Amino acid sequence: MVSVRSSLAQLPPYVPGRKLPGAVVLASNESPYGLLPGVAGTLSELAAGVSRYPDMSATSLVQVLAAHHGVEPERIAVGAGSSEVCGQLLHSVVGPGDEVVFGWRSFEAYPILTAVAGGTAVRVPLRDHALDLDAMATAITGRTRLVFVCNPNNPTSTAVGERALSDFADRVPDDVLIVVDEAYREYADPALVPDALALLGDRPNVAVLRTFSKAYGLAGLRVGYCVAPPELTAHVRRTQVPFSVSALAQEAAVVALGERAEAARRAALTVAERARVTLRLRALGFEVPHSQANFVWLPLGDDSADFAVHCLDGKVVVRPFLGEGVRVTIGLPEENDALLALAAAWRG
Ligand code: PMP
């Protein structure tokens, strides 16, 4: 019998959004607008090539990303979704017993991937549904190797501002990697939420994570990346599962980036819908923290399961975090209307 690591038995499960045929799905923060126009054609053209392995270095994608961000290609590392890159960053710097600090609640993959890397998760409670960067800086010890800053934060939707982020970075020792996870960047107000690459990109201990899964509509193809110092990205590439990013994903990402104006237009529609949904939910008496992402957070505490079941009965799938709150993705206007009608009925 192979002896497996007993610590992994304690891993919290990653809970994906439920699949319910015919339902409105507002559970996984995907784009409701489907593929960008050029992507569909590209995918069918490429389908014939899937009997071959992809370019393991993702050369074209890395080049367009480097040009897009105005950095050297050596500073980009691509993975099968930014979740894979999260894991690669952890494997690059965290060993057994090392500590990884993050706000909690935040992206549920952080504790899972930390444990898989052999690290110890240090969860720092949020304050008013937002990352408490002061408490996170205080939680850093001599054993800390990495700190995640999810900005905007999933699932609570709030974001930290420029001053708070740069003050925090000043307090983090140089040998601790700061990973700023900007999965929802495209939905944030640039006047309120800093672009971490512009603000902190020159620091030797900062990696910025981005994904094609949200505003670029490619959640199912799995492609994300980090921008980090070249010494770090070299390690990150070493930890990648060979060929994890398919040729379809690479090419679709290149085409999607070329259509970023359309992606931005769609993100703006989501932001406008977010404002409408927030206003209505607040009018119904829900507490709704100020969202900078493509979802809203309803801190319903013990009522979370009841609200989620009520929505499910009405064929709208939302994402409950039991005892804490419910995350509702912003969908198409008619999908949001279905959610709002259910919310009004629940309030009674
Ligand atoms: N970071 C955050 C904060 C997320 O919410 C998600 C997806 N839920 C990811 C990273 C990972 O996205 P992907 O692996 O699809 O790029």
**pTM of this prediction?**
0.96
pLDDT in tens, 207-254: 999 999 999 999 999 999 999 999 999 999 999 999 999 999 999 999
Instruction: Name the residue among 121, 115, 125, 116 with its Cα closest to residue 99.
Output: 121
Mean pLDDT of 132-154: 98
When the candidates are 3.90.1150.10, 3.90.480.10, 3.40.50.920, 3.90.550.10, the CATH number that belongs to 12-34+261-347 is 3.90.1150.10
For residue 48, is pLDDT > 90?
no
Categorize the per-residue pLDDT at 13 as very low, low, confident or very high, splitting at 50, 70 and 90: confident
> Cβ(197)–Cβ(70) under 8 Å?
no
Categorize the per-residue pLDDT at 12 as very low, low, confident or very high, splitting at 50, 70 and 90: confident
Residue 96 phi/psi, 5° resolution? -55, 130
Ligand 1 atom nearest 184 alpha carbon: 3
- For 38-258, CATH gives 3.40.640.10
For residue 6, is pLDDT > 80?
no
The pLDDT of residue 10:
74
The reply to whether ligand 1 has any atom less than 6 angstroms from the CB of 246 is: no
- Count H helices, E strands: the chain? 12, 12
**What are the CA-CA distances from residue 208 to residues 134, 185, 317 (Å)?**
20, 11, 31
The pLDDT of residue 17:
78
The reply to whether ligand 1 has any atom less than 6 angstroms from the CB of 224 is: yes
Domain ranges of the chain: 12-34+261-347, 38-258
Two tokens at 252?
Answer: 């679709």
The reply to whether ligand 1 has any atom less than 6 angstroms from the CB of 270 is: no
Is the ipTM of this structure higher than 0.90? yes
For residue 49, is pLDDT > 90?
no
Mean pLDDT of 72-79: 98
Q: Comparing 12-34+261-347 with 38-258, is the CATH topology the same?
A: no
Out of 84, 107, 112, mutate this one to test ligand 1's pocket (max ligand atoms within 8 Å of CB): namely 107
